[in-house]
Amino acid sequence: MRIILAAGTQRSGSTWAFNVARLILSNQDTSLKATWIDDYVPGGETSALLKIHSPDDQWSEKAATVLTCHRDLRDIIVSLHDRGWVNKEDKMLRLPQQKLLEKRTSIGQRGQPSIYPMRKL
């Protein structure tokens, strides 16, 4: 059986990568099982596409392919903030990230659009 991991940190685009891979692979393998890694129960499938956020050596060794995605950490912080998962007072954020969110929040409060440009790779 072929195992494919779709791996990436939260808000990095890993769900997008997982869904693109799922759509492509399901056309090639009708028995593909695509699911979150914690919900995976092996069955009669010939391939499994598993979504994962945290590194796992055991699954990485079993995988034929590991799809990863990378996103500028500043964009991840802003995305987490937009979802309400962190705020600018969060003790986990370091000063530069706090300043970034303060600047972005103050722009939005002045009535201007709350848009944070994506970084080019």
Residues 72, 119 contacting (CB under 8 angstroms):
yes
What's the confidence (pLDDT) of residue 91?
59
At residue 104, the pLDDT reads: 47
Phi then psi for residue 61, to 5 deg, are: -70, -35
Q: What's the pLDDT score for residue 93?
A: 60
pLDDT value of position 72: 77
Q: In the chain, which residues have pLDDT < 50?
A: 104-121
What is the rounded distance in angstroms from the CA atom of residue 11 to the CA atom of residue 33? Answer: 23
Measure the CA–CA gap between 45 and 32, rounded to whole angstroms: 6
pLDDT at position 99, please?
54
User: What per-residue confidence (pLDDT) applies to 21?
Assistant: 93
